[in-house]
Amino acid sequence: MSFKRETLEDGSVRLSSERCSFTYHRPRPGVVFMRIVGTDKGEFGTAPMDELREDISRYAPIELFIEMDEVTGANLPVQEAWTAWFSTHRPALKSVSILTRSKFMHFTAEVVKFFSRTGELIRVYLEPRPFEEALQRAAPDFPGLEAARKPGP
């Protein structure tokens, strides 16, 4: 596993490899906005989930917002790891909102939702407007998707 973890100027955290990045913004306690870019082939191991450990231990149940508009793929072990994580941490999650406009990643997110047995806890959005509205309700001071978008790996 070869990746880098860094704290950015705005306080957000980025995990990055040659082909993928996860950026975590925490607009307020109990709300995490995670942006994923690229293709995750498993090089991060459990680090993307581990990054949420402190949020859960301090603020559960948390609201998790995942923007995957620039995700080009995730291999099966990565999908299985997220499925298991959502299932295990269901009591610590108030809601999970996922945005993707890719039909492939939409299908992937729906499969993870189904097999994690989380029911309506996870909501998958195909359009940015309702996703961003939900994010603004959870964290009114968050600058929005455009401001959170920074270059990927």
What does the pLDDT look like over 111-152, one tens digit per residue? 888 888 888 899 999 999 999 999 999 999 888 777 676 554
Verify cis geometry, omega within 30 degrees of 0, for the bond prior to 61.
yes
Q: What is the pTM of this model?
A: 0.90
pLDDT of residue 152: 47
Number of CB atoms found within 10 A of residue 95's CB: 17
Those residues of the chain that have pLDDT short of 50 are 152-153
d(CA 52, CA 31): 10
Residues 6+ apart with CB under 8 A from 45: 1
Dihedral pair phi/psi, residue 44, rounded to 5°: -90, -10
CA atoms within 13 A on the CB side of 146: 1
pLDDT of residue 151: 52
Number of CB atoms found within 10 A of residue 6's CB: 10
Residue in the block written with tokens 């070869």: 2
